[in-house]
Amino acid sequence: MYIIPAIDIIDGKCVRLTQGDYAQKKVYNENPLEVAKEFEAAGLKHLHLVDLDGAKSGHIVNHKVLESIAKNTSLIVDFGGGVKTDEDIQLAFNSGAAQITGGSIAVKNPQIFESWIKKHGDKIILGADVKDEKIATNGWLEDSGIDLWNFLSDYVAKGIKYTVCTDISKDGALQGTATELYKKMILKFPALNVIASGGVTTLQDLHDLQNAGCYGAIVGKAIYEQRIQLKDLNIFA
């Protein structure tokens, strides 16, 4: 299982939210590149970079942060937040993203998202942000009312191979992960590479996700709050 540390960006700074609430923002570092270099130095290979300003405004805002990290580290970056148009996705790839995560766009403009899957294949990750098994959009500010299982089924049929699934109720709360949800997902869609996101608090959470069959696990606040030490993550490499 891949360990994928997360950097969330607001105003060019590394922050974390609690349950997607922009009012519950904590700044951890003014310099995201510094944080990315720490992850790289610890032997981690991947990075989940989220432009929270972009998610809120509906277009990419912090592409310079992506560019800086891509140019100055060897991390494989998946980027999301505000990727809404063909111009946005091109900007993200040109700025150094290896993969793009699309969440709101997959709900609100499935035609364009499907065209990206056809054009870019495995470089596209489906963002499935979930509350009570319903999909949320726009930085989790809106409930779409769309059933998670129908949503996944539609996109698996369209050729999606990767999904980042975040249980919003768990995210940033440091109270454990939605392991049972991921088990159900992997059972229903065995060909889908499921990346768990939200609530990882301890190394045991990561072992549980690995045992559940997750392809990857995103870790954010637990690293920043030092619940999990970077040096301990090498066991998953």
* Number of C-beta neighbours around residue 156 at 10 A: 16
Helix axes 86-94, 63-72, angle to 10 degrees: 30
143 in catalytic set:
no
- Check whether 219 has a pLDDT greater than 60: yes
191 in Cβ contact with 156 (< 8 Å): yes
Amino acid at 112: I
Q: In b/e form, how buried is each residue of 32-71, taking b as 16+ CB within 10 angstroms?
A: bbebbeebbebebebbbbbbbbbbeebbbbbbebbbbbbe
User: How much is the mean pLDDT over the chain?
Assistant: 92
Write the pLDDT tens digit of every residue in 155-177: 999 999 999 999 887 766 677 89
Nearest in space to 83 (alpha carbons), one of 97, 69, 100, 107 = 100
For residue 235 the two structure tokens come to: 């066991």
> Is 60 exceeded by the pLDDT of residue 50?
yes
Sign of CA dihedral 80, 83, 87, 89: positive
Predicted pLDDT of residue 141: 55
The pLDDT of residue 172: 63
List Cβ neighbours of 15 (8 Å cut-off, separation of 6 or more): 8, 9, 25, 26, 27, 28, 52
**pLDDT reading at 68 higher than 60:** yes
Coil, strand, or helix at residue 121? helix
Residue 161 C-alpha from the chain's centroid: 15
Amino acid type, 188: K
Q: Cα–Cα–Cα angle for 77, 80, 84, nearest 5°?
A: 135
* DSSP state letter for 143: E
In DSSP terms, 131 is beta-bridged to 134
Give catalytic status of residue 78 as yes or no: no
pLDDT class of 235 with cuts at 50, 70, 90 = confident
Global pTM reads: 0.93
Q: Is the pLDDT of residue 45 over 90?
A: yes
pLDDT surpasses 80 at 224? yes
pLDDT at position 137 over 80: no
Q: Are 170 and 200 in contact (CB under 8 A)?
A: no
| CATH class assigned to 2-236 | alpha beta
Please give the structure tokens belonging to residue 60.
């990419």
Give domain limits for the chain: 2-236
Q: Taking 70 as the threshold, does the pLDDT of residue 98 lie above it?
A: yes
Q: Which of 53, 78, 88, 129 is catalytic?
A: 129
